[in-house]
Every structure is written in structure tokens, then in C-alpha cells.
Chains A and B, each alone.
Chain A
Amino acid sequence: MSNVENPALAPSREVAAPRPAWRIFLIRPETMTLALLILGVFAGSQLSEFFLDINYILKSFTLYAEFAIVALVLTMVIIAGEIDLSAASNMALSACVFAYAQQTGAPLPISIAIGLSAGLFMGLFNAFIIIGLKLPSIIVTIGTLTLYRGLAQIIAGDKSIRVPESFIGINNVFIGGIPAPVIIFIILSIVLGLVLGTTIFGRQIYLIGTNEVAARHAGVRSKSIKIILFATLGLTSAFAGLLTASRLGSVRYDLGLGGELQMVLMAMLGGTYIFGGRGTILGTFLAAWLLVIVTTGMIVANWLPAYQLCVLGVLLIISIIATNFIYSRTER
């Protein structure tokens, strides 16, 4: 899986291996994502001449950067054989807790810390129920999805809470011409990609997702690793919630509503195997860009939001069919 050789070397001599390296490379899901990405950029450029403006694409990316950041960690959770649908609700509740704290007079740094620790706590709560009580993560996170969103609704009511002026506008901070959320996303991708791809911890995540019993017998502390993953996801969701609050300038309970679709979609489009054990950060990274290109393309083409909802739903189904198909072909 990991030993992809240089595709240029393979065809020169008689290939004795059952599958040439270039074919292994070609039928990787990430390759599919990359191909779709190039196709998307091409199609977008046909739609409108303004589409290929890199600044415009970067600006559009800031709208999805929050979900994309969470999707990176979610990818690792899915690779470990679990799933978390509550991340978008976590974003909303953390942001509401943050906004409520600063509204009651807490200084900004302390409010931020409270918001982040709320997210961390939610992640740990998920982990406690899923790992401590051995319940399936699918149903548990459907429950916490409803619960966290409901708590956010209790805190914020139907009103929106303003956040202080100094906190607003992270999406308008540019570093070297690139918006800050995009920078954060890229840095996080590199860090998590290195963690997942090169460290022992990362390899252990793959092992847990492939066969948890075998992993435990091989001395992998699967429980602690999963707890770490859920806690990281909670913390990251809270961070993403604060980014969203900073972008929007106010917080409502329906912040990031329906975001679980986009997050799962990014992971699935990037070739993460829904049954665990396979997938890469690179795939999710590419998929996030693909999703932005697709949605931006639809906006440029003046499609109604309803059509976008349909397209995202269909994309999700197609992407998991394709990924499953590719993995079943490469099964040894």
C-alpha cells in the first residue's frame, strides 16, 4: 500500500510482479480525486473566465476551511474504524459556549480557552461512551449530534450572540496573500499527514482500523489511541467553531448546520475507506479542494443552493461506491 514506486521505472523491463507499479499508482483513490480536481478546474474555467482567479478560489476556500480542518482529523477517526457525526454540532456548541462566556464578561483569551476546552470535553465524552461503554460510534454520535446542537440551542436560544470586534475577521487576515484559515488548513494537513504516514502512532491507527483484535494482540493500545483521536477531533471541532464565529462575526445555534455531510464527504471523496484501515490525509486534502471547486463552480454557474444539496448528496454516494470498488480491485 505504502510502497508506491516511481511509475517511470516499471514498464522498461519484463514485469514479473502481478501488478505493475504504475497500475497500483493509477488505481489509487487519491489519483481519482486528483483527476477529478483537474477536471473540475477545467470545467470551472469553461464556465466563467473569472473562475481561474486564484484569489477568488482561495477566498471561496475560507468558507469551507473550517469543515476541511475537521475533516482531516475525521479521516484519522474513520481510518481507525470509527465515525463521528457530531463534529458539526460540536462546532456550534463550542462557539456558543465561547460567545456566551465573553458575553458574561470573561476576557477574550479566557473565553477562547473555555470554548476550546468545551470542545475537548465533548470529544472526550464521545470517547467515553464509545470506548468506555463499548457502544457503536454511529448511533452514539447521532445521539450526541442532537444533544450538542440542542445544548447550543439552550445556551443561545433563537438569538445570535455578537462576538467582540477584535475577534472578528480571521478570514480577512492574509499571510503572503493567502487567507489565514487556508494557511491553518495547509499546515494542519502537513502535520497530520506526517503523523499518519510516517510515525508509529500513524501506522498503529491503520492497524486498528484493519483489524482491531489483531492490533490489540500485537500490543497496540487501541483504546488509548482511539480516545486520543476522539479528543483531538473534539478540540479541532471547537477550533473550527471559533474560526467560523470569527468569520461570521456572530454565533447562532445553527452554526455549521448539516456540516457533517461536508466533512464525511471530504473524507470519502479523498478515498478513505468507510470500513477503516485505509485512506490518507493527502486524499482528504485534495478532496477539500475538489469540493470547493465543485461548489464554487455551481455558484459561478448560478445554480440554486438546492441543486448544490443534491449534487453533494449524490457525490457522497458516488464517492463511496468508487472507493469501495477501487479497494475491492486492489484486494490481495
Chain B
Amino acid sequence: MKSLGTTFLRREAGIVVMIVLFCLVVGAVKPQFLTLNSLRIIFLLVPLIMIGAMGQMLVIVARHVDLSIGSILGLTAMASGMMFRFHPEIWWQLGFALSIGSGALLGLFNGLLITLFRLPAIIVTLGTLNLYRGITFIMSDAKQIDRQYVPTALKEMSQDSPIFGIPWIIFMSFGIATLTYWFSMHTRIGREVFALGSNPTAAPLRGINVSKVTLTVFTISGALSGLAGIMYASRWGFVNPSNTGNGFEFQVIAAVVIGGVSINGGLGTALGTVLGVLLLGCVAAALPLLGIPGTTQNAIYGAVILVALLIDRLVRKQGQRQNVARAAA
């Protein structure tokens, strides 16, 4: 158990070292990268990815994957946007309830398909990715929700700050990260997610309700994508049926795997995921400074996923060797 703890620590320390090294290298080339202003840019880039990554982390720990989160983000953002548009008088906080609630329902639908019919999550969520995107188009009549319809109070959440000039959405994303840490480490069902992911055969034999755990992680993933949806409306001030959330899943999966969540399930921490998100944020913030065009972003996300997989593979190999050595001693 102790060695497992040190493995986690080493992994997270590794990401911190990578972040520091990256910032120093970029800072050496462009000194303005090491200023408070670029810190602000980084922190404004990451909240959506961080919230999505918390849900995706739980899903991947449980040995599944959720490709539909980008479409859930789009659909839930559109749902709130349309509510604001057609009922401008409504209490704007209701947008949060609507987005999170509808996101949870969509996630639950994924989970139900996966548990009821014992289907692989990748195919189900590839299907619902397109289904939810289609529904978003139908629902919105392919019309964008423009800036004037999004309530000012909601938009101000990304600009106004309670303290130190740090906007609300940043506090919220770190709050969600803390909640996820608590959920994954200190609740019964949170621990069951890890048990299921590390050995899906043994988990039901130890009395773990596999369907319940699977439904829970997918519902959480959906609900958090819903929260990311309303925050998208807050951050960017518009909702577009085709762009909103498109490709979100790849950024999130990249952040999660670089954060040390093992794709073989059962391993991963909220702290590691937060660090992974921050590393991705640093990279995204550094690109324009270094004069690298935005078109390279997708390739970088893809490369990041592959590099993270390689690191994961190396770490696991080393861990196995240590286990063998200990067993022999």
C-alpha cells in the first residue's frame, strides 16, 4: 500500500517538474510568459477542461471512456441559452440547474445503455456523441444564441471576482476538483469506482454493485459536462450548435491521461488530473506567445495523449518490476 502511495507521489511530482520546466523554457525565450498576466490567461483557459476532466477521470478509472462529453456540453449550453432567449425574465441561476440536470440525465442515459445491454462505453458514447449533437441542432433550429441573450450576471462570473481578481469560474472549477478528491478518496462509492477499475472481475465478487458504480460515474461525468456547458455560456457569452464543445472530449482525455490516470483503470487522482489540466493550459497559453499558429493545437493534444500513454506504460512496467522484486525478496 505504501509503495502505491509513493508511486502516486512520484507521478504527480513528475507532472509538477514538467510544468516548471516547460514554464522556465518558455520564459527563457519569452520573458513575458512568467508574469501574473499570463498566469491569469492560463487560469481562464482551464476551468472548462478541469471540470470535464474530473468526470472523465472517474470514468477512466472505472475502465470506461466517455466520448460524448463535448456533445453534452453543447446540448446543455444550448438548453440554457434557449431558456435565456425565450424567457429573458427568468431567474438566471436556473441555467445552472437546467444545464447540470440535463447533463446528468444524458450521462445517465449513456450509463443505462452500457449497463443494461453490457455494451462497450466507447461505441455507445460514439453513438450518443452524434445523437446529442444532432439533438442540439434540432432543438436550436441550427441558430446560435448570441451575446445579447446570455444574462449579464452570468457573463460576469467569468470576469468579476470575489477576491484577488480571480473570477468566479476559477473558484468553481477548483471547488469541483476538491469535491472530486473527497468523493474519490473518502466515500464508499468513490472507492468502489477504483475497485471496479482495478479488477472488474473481482469487484462484483466483493459485493460491489457494478451497475450502480457505472451509472454513478457516467451520471457524474454528464452532470459535470452540463456544468461546463453553462460555464461555456458564461465564459464566451454565446452558444453555437456546431462549435460549442466540439473536440472538448479530446482536450479532456489528453488532460486526464497526462495527469497520470491509467487507461487500464483503477489508478488516478484528482490532484494529478488538476496538474494535467494545468500543464495543458500552460501549453495552450504558450503557443500564441511563441508565435506558433493555433492550427497546431489539435496535433499537440493528440501528441500529448500518446506521450502520456507511453509514460503510463513505462511507469507501470517499473511498478511491476518492483512488485516482482519485492515478492522475490
Contacts and interface: CB of A to CB of B under 8 A. Distances in A.
Interface of A: 83, 85, 129, 133-136, 138-140, 142-151, 153-154, 157-158, 253, 258, 260-261, 264, 268, 274-275, 304-317, 320-321, 324-325
Nearest to A156: B295
B283 to A, nearest CB: 13
Interface string B95-128: 0000000000000000001000111101110111
Contacts of B135: 306, 310
Interface in B244-298: 247, 250, 253-254, 257, 263-264, 293, 295-298
B313 A314 contact: no
19 contacts: A85-B122, A140-B309, A143-B302, A144-B302, A146-B247, A146-B302, A147-B301, A154-B295, A264-B123, A275-B120, A304-B138, A304-B142, A306-B137, A310-B130, A314-B131, A317-B113, A317-B128, A320-B123, A324-B119
B133 interface: yes
A308 B131 CA distance: 9
A83 B126 CA distance: 13
A144 B254 CA distance: 11
B306 interface: yes
Contact of B131 (A129, A134, A142, A313): A313
A235 to B, nearest CB: 21
Chain A residues touching B, majority SS: helix
Given A129-B306, A145-B302, A151-B299, A306 B127 contact: no
A253 B294 CA distance: 14
B310 interface: yes
Contacts of B67: 142
B191 to A, nearest CB: 24
A143 B305 contact: yes
Given A146-B302, A150-B297, A274-B123, A139 B134 contact: no
Given A136-B264, A324-B118, A306 B134 contact: yes
Contacts of A324: 117-119
Given A129-B309, A310-B135, A314-B131, A320 B119 contact: yes
Top 7 closest pairs, chain A to chain B, by CB = A147-B302, A150-B299, A150-B298, A306-B137, A313-B131, A146-B302, A309-B134
B264 to A, nearest CB: 7
Contact of A153 (B118, B254, B264, B298): B298
Contact of A139 (B123, B137, B305): B305
Contact of A138 (B65, B119, B299, B303): B65
Given A157-B295, A268-B123, A317-B128, 9 more contacts: A145-B302, A147-B299, A150-B303, A153-B299, A264-B126, A313-B129, A314-B131, A316-B130, A321-B117
Contacts of A136: 263-264
B310 A133 contact: yes
B315 interface: no
B54 to A, nearest CB: 18
A149 B134 CA distance: 22
Given A135-B263, A148-B302, A316 B296 contact: no
A143 B310 CA distance: 12
Contacts of B298: 146-147, 149-150, 153
B203 interface: no
B166 interface: no
Contacts of A261: 126-127, 129-130
Contacts of A320: 117, 119, 123-124
A304 B301 CA distance: 32
A139 B142 contact: no
A216 to B, nearest CB: 20
Contacts of A325: 117
B250 A146 contact: yes
Contacts of A144: 302, 306
A134 B134 contact: no
B138 A307 contact: yes
